[in-house]
Amino acid sequence: MQQIVEKGAGLAVKLAREAGGILMESLGTGIGIELKGEINPVTEFDRKVEEFLVSGIRKEFPDHDFLAEEQTTPEGISQFRWVIDPIDGTTNYAHGYPCFAVSIALEHKGSALLGVIYQPATREMFTATAGGGAFLNGHPMKVSKKVTGLENSFLVTGFPYNLRQPGVLERNLKRFAKFLGESFAVRRDGSAAYDLACLAAGRFDGFWEENLSPWDTIAGYLMVCEAGGVVTDFNGEKFDPLSSKSILAAGTEELHRKMLSFLS
C-alpha cells in the first residue's frame, strides 16, 4: 500500500504540473464553452486534460479504476480508484480569470490515500497523503488556529450549479448573508478544490458549500484533515468524500461548531 501511495503521489504531482502547463498555454485566448446544465460549463480543455491525466496514470497503474468529471466513469474492477477534476473552476478558466486548479486523488475502499491540487497560475502545488501530512510546494501546511470566533473569521464558499432550481438560490443566499454579517469577510472564488487547499494552508478559517461532487472535494478534504482541520457535512456528521452532498471545514473545532449552528 505504501509503495502505491508514494509512487502515485509522485506521478500525480508530475502529471498535475504538466496539465497545468497545457492549461496556461491557452488561458485567456477565447476558449469555447459548452453547457452541461444551465450554468454548468465544459470546455475542450476539460476533456483534453482529463484524457491526458487518465492516460498518464493508466500507464503506471493499469489495474486501477477512475472517476473523473467529464467522461471517465468507474468500471468497478479495482479497489483503488483515481478521482480527477481536470479543471476545478471551469467558468473562471474559460473567461481568462486565473483562479482554477487541477485536482487528483487516489482512494481505496472509500478512504482517501493521497491528494494533489495544482494551481497553475500561481504555481502552487498542494499535496497530502493519509497519515503523512499536507504540504505546499514541499513545505508543511497547517490550518489557522488563531481564529475561534465568527467575528474574526475569514471565510470562503461557493454556490452550486443547481441554483436555478426552486428554493436553492434563496437557501444559499440566506446562508451567505448570515456569514457575511457575522464574519470578518467572505470570499467566493469559484473553485472548491482550491478553496479547501487554501484553508489547509491557513489562509481561510472556514469553508462551506453544498451539492459538490467527489472530484471537487476529495483531495482538499484530505489536505484539511492532514493539516489539522475539522471537516463534516452540514449536519455535523462525518464527511464522506464519495457520498456527502455538503461540506463544512474549519481550522478549529470552536469555529466549526459556530458555523455548524448557522447551517444545520
Residues that are catalytic? 69, 85, 87-88, 90, 216
Long-range contacts of 129-138, Cβ-Cβ distance < 8 Å, separation of 24 or more: 129/5, 129/9, 129/222, 129/226, 130/5, 130/222, 130/226, 131/226, 132/5, 132/226, 133/226, 133/227, 134/200, 134/222, 134/223, 134/224, 134/226, 134/227, 136/197, 136/201
User: Does the CA dihedral 146-147-152-156 come out positive or negative?
Assistant: positive
The one-character DSSP state at 64 is -
Q: Where are the alpha helices (DSSP H) in the chain?
A: 2-26, 44-60, 90-94, 168-182, 192-200, 214-226, 253-263
Q: Give the Å distances, CA to CA, from 201 to 31, 142, 174.
A: 31, 6, 28
- Give the three cell numbers for residue 179: 456569514
